[in-house]
Amino acid sequence: MVLPRTRPPNSTNRRASLSVPSAMIGRMNENGTAASRTSRTWNGFAASAALQGLVGASGCWNEDSFADIRAIGRYIEGSWAPEPGERDVRPPAAGSWTEVVGRPGALALRAAAAATRPERREVLLDFLDMWAQTPFADPAYRFRLGRLAGTTSFTVRDHQGASFGLHLSARRETLYFEAVLPGGEAAPRPEEPLYAVDCHRGWGTPDQLRRLVELVRERGPVTHDADAALALSEATGLSRPASALVLAGNPGAGGYYTPYLDAHERSVFGFKAGELESARSELSMLHDDERLALLADVMPTDPEDLWKPGGLVRVAERIAAAWAEQHGARPRAPWSTWQAAVALDTRMPATHLCHLFLDPANATLPPGFYLRVWPCPPEHRHLRTAWDVMGDYDAETVADAFFTGLPWAYADLPAGDPVRDGAPEAVHHFRKVLAGRDSPARVLHSGVIRGNRGSRRWNWLTDGTCDRVIARITAGDLPPGRYESDPRACAPDLVAEVVATLGVSEDAATLYLQILLLPVPSDRNVRRWNAWTPARHKAAAGELSARGLAVEDRRARAGRTLFLPGPWAHAKKPLPPVESWKAPLIGGQLSADGSEVRAFELLPGTLPELFREAWRLVRKGEGPTA
């Protein structure tokens, strides 16, 4: 037996930065040729950026990012010998490439994806080519990962295998990694591990890896398939952008290089920057290990199948099966609803906000929640939901999403939308959680009542206002596809009264009530609510302008050119600017001089009630005036 080499605790636990500009990512040098590409060396920034979200950066890389992997592979094989001046083989670093053993499928999928940045693709291809030449890709070897009780780092080898220990003093733990050679029975152990688990063995034999690398270099990346991403979204409940990221081998990242996606990547996916950022946030619920596990076995046995018709569709089917096993399938919001949820800009990602209403009892545990730091067997993960709040951050996240999402679902989504239809059950479940006597109930209650808005939120939930809003949804008075923000649908008698009183057309009366009350009657919203063409909208606006009931103008962030006469209150994002007259009607709070919107509270009534109140003020001579 070779005596173990020891080193001071945590002497190799170096951490790579996660905020390096793209311009700094590149090759340290390139000595290779077309026949021997893996002789190129890559710096730590390049490796960490290419593998982000899959392989942790902590202590992984040095001047030659792959040198440690090659050296440890040779040490395990028994072919390693230090060169003059060369340092000893060091134990594999914390949270690093050892997690890839038996699971290089995610890296292969990313290397073949059209959206991967060219410079990162080269790193990935070199990594896979190098990996194919190590024992880590050889199914004849057996590997295990675990933890030790001791506090000493070591490397030890004999004729049956090798084992490694790495003590991390900052984390107060010692990592364990062992390799058993072909025909060996057990690796040498200076001490018995607290536990050790077998590394997964899936896709990624040396032949598969070399074939994948060869095909990508010969044919170029696989063309992105939007239909395959859509099928994945429908099967899992992931948003369409999140499904596209997963299908490209990029299932989110905790820490990441800025920007997460560049212009090239966004252009391949075809989504807006805000949509892709929401998708990244949605996928940040996953840990690196879960991302590797998700994509470990989704690659085809013959990598060439990726380039055949339907290749990515078949990959998507395998991802959907793996996702269902890990997380279960979730209901999916309509695309337009999800896009609107992104615009709400809540701390909770749009997909998770929609889940609060689509399936309240099983609402997905969002990223960043305290419970996510606690280990949980896969078969029990579904028991953890968004209502299991464990601290102020969790409670405020849920309360903000609920009290932002509920008025939005009521007023801005059409009748028949599943998110809107789920609002009554979401309110029922929210109240049920608050009525509990356990810790989540107390913490959530604190999150509801905390801060300046707390008492108003609680009053809105308990004084009957919320009940009247929910009654409007459950009554089913709106025809499918119609909006509560269209007064013709929610208060047709009122529209008729405005027509008779003002002597204007039904379209003009409808538009007048909307700009009289609604906080964001932008051109886009009005045409969506009313199912109007631009020409029809323009005609109604012209009628109001000609009668002096509204003025035409251009104002920052308004999204419209028609306004009520009178003062205007500006606002900073995400608050909307509005006419000062209507702010009190809709829960808006203005600065002392009335020039700026400071906050928007919950709607103080149903829209039919508020439309009638706004019109009552106009009839009394208390309406907006220049």
Q: Give per-residue pLDDT as tens, 240-296.
A: 999 999 999 999 887 666 677 889 999 999 999 999 999 999 998 888 889 999 999
Residue 364 DSSP SS3:
strand
pLDDT at 8 over 50: no
CA–centroid distance for 99 within its chain: 23
pLDDT (mean) for 87-94: 72
Question: What confidence score (pLDDT) does residue 335 get?
Answer: 98
Query: Where do the domains of the chain lie?
Result: 44-206, 209-327, 335-369+392-428+445-472, 487-620
In the predicted model, is pLDDT for residue 487 greater than 50?
yes
Least confident of 12-21, 287-296, 399-408, 502-511: 12-21
Greater pLDDT, 126 or 374: 126
The pLDDT, as a whole number, for residue 23 is: 34
pLDDT, residue 26, reads: 33
> Of 79, 86, 34, which is closest to residue 64 (Cα–Cα)?
86
Radius of gyration of the chain (CA): 30
In the sheet with 142-148, reading across from the earlier edge strand, the strands are 2-7, 153-158, 161-168, 173-180, 142-148, 195-198
The per-residue pLDDT for 447 is 85
* The predicted structure's pLDDT at residue 379: 56
Contact between 422 and 412 (Cβ < 8 Å): no
Between the CA of residue 306 and those of 117, 205, 554, what are the distances in Å?
Answer: 19, 17, 51
pLDDT for 376 equals 58
Lowest mean pLDDT among 109-123, 375-389, 417-431: 375-389
| pLDDT tens-digit readout, 38-72 | 468 887 788 888 998 998 755 555 566 688 888 89
pLDDT band for 35, please (50, 70, 90 cuts): very low
pLDDT at 34: 37
Is the CB of residue 313 less than 8 Å from the CB of residue 235?
no
Q: Give the residue, 377 or 469, on which the prediction is more confident.
A: 469
Q: What is the pLDDT of residue 68?
A: 82
Q: Which of 67-81, 189-203, 533-547 has the highest mean pLDDT?
A: 533-547
Question: Could you give the CA distance from residue 572 to residue 134 in angstroms, rounded to a whole number?
Answer: 56
Q: Does residue 11 register a pLDDT over 80?
A: no
pLDDT, averaged across the chain = 88
Q: Return the higher-pLDDT residue of 131 and 44.
A: 131
Tell whether the model's pLDDT for residue 86 goes beyond 70.
no
Angle between helices 392-412 and 335-344 (to 10 degrees): 130
Per cent of the chain over pLDDT 70 is 88
pLDDT in tens, 574-610: 899 999 999 999 999 999 999 999 988 899 999 999 9
Statement: residue 223 has pLDDT above 90:
yes
pLDDT at 535 over 50: yes
**Would you state the structure tokens that stand for residue 269, as one six-digit string?**
């996916």
Instruction: Tell me how far CA of residue 71 lies from CA of 92, 130, 133, in angstroms.
Output: 11, 12, 12
Assess whether pLDDT exceeds 60 at residue 9.
no
What local confidence, expressed as pLDDT, does residue 256 receive?
Answer: 66
Q: Quickly list DSSP for 158-184.
A: ETTEEEEEEEETTTTEEEEEEEE-TT-
Which residues share a beta bridge with 162? 157, 179
The helix/strand/coil state of 355 is helix
Residues 38 and 133 sit within 8 Å (Cβ to Cβ): yes
pLDDT given for residue 46 in this prediction? 85
Is it the case that residue 439 has pLDDT exceeding 90? no
Query: Mean per-residue pLDDT for 531-554?
Result: 97
